[in-house]
């Protein structure tokens, strides 16, 4: 699996490009899909995953959810993640039904990239990086 971790915008952002393996629900074999994970300090709770298919598909994932999924099953309403103790992969199910999208990627590489994001915005300091101006303007109307 090829990965390219990188930081940009004066160390405000972190990006990681890799290949995810997609397992279609009809058992049609495994497909490799390029994916780019992006983290911005201005949106400190979220990681964007862009799956580069025929048409790019973007998912917003919780940073802490991804980090938790590297160690144990983490299940939300439409996203689940869990580590595979046998082969070192991380499994992600995207969608409300188990057959929506089942993907796997290298767990250690994801964990290493997440450590970069936590160096940019340490846990517990996310609120310090949020821009509250738009919400405050709405509340003063």
One pLDDT digit (tens) per residue for the chain, 141 residues: 334 445 444 567 999 999 999 988 777 788 899 999 999 998 899 999 999 989 999 999 999 999 999 999 998 878 999 999 899 999 999 987 756 888 999 999 999 999 999 999 988 777 766 676 777 778 887
In the numeric block, which tokens belong to residue 114? 């997440």
Q: Look up the CATH number of the domain holding residue 64.
A: 2.30.31.20
Q: Which domain holds residue 101?
A: 4-139
- Per the structure, the count of domains in the chain is 1
Closest CA to 94 of 118, 77, 111, 72: 77
* DSSP codes of every residue in 50-97: EE-SSS-EEEEEEHHHHHHHTTS-EE-SSEEEEE-TTT-EEEEEESSS
CA distance 114 to 92: 16
With H, G, I as helix, E, B as strand and everything else as coil, classify residue 138: helix
């Amino acid at each position: 699996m090829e990965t390219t971790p990188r930081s940009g915008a004066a160390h405000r952002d972190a990006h990681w490009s890799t290949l995810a393996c997609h397992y279609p629900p009809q058992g049609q074999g495994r497909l490799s899909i390029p994916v780019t994970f992006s983290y911005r300090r201005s949106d400190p709770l979220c990681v964007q995953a862009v799956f580069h298919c025929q048409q790019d598909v973007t998912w917003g994932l919780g940073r802490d959810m991804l980090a938790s999924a590297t160690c144990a099953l983490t299940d939300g309403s439409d996203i689940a993640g869990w580590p595979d103790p046998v082969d070192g992969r991380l499994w992600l199910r995207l969608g409300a039904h188990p057959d929506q999208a089942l993907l796997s990627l290298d767990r250690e590489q994801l964990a290493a990239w997440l450590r970069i994001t936590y160096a940019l915005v340490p846990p517990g300091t996310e609120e310090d990086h949020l821009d509250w101006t738009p919400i405050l303007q709405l509340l003063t109307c």
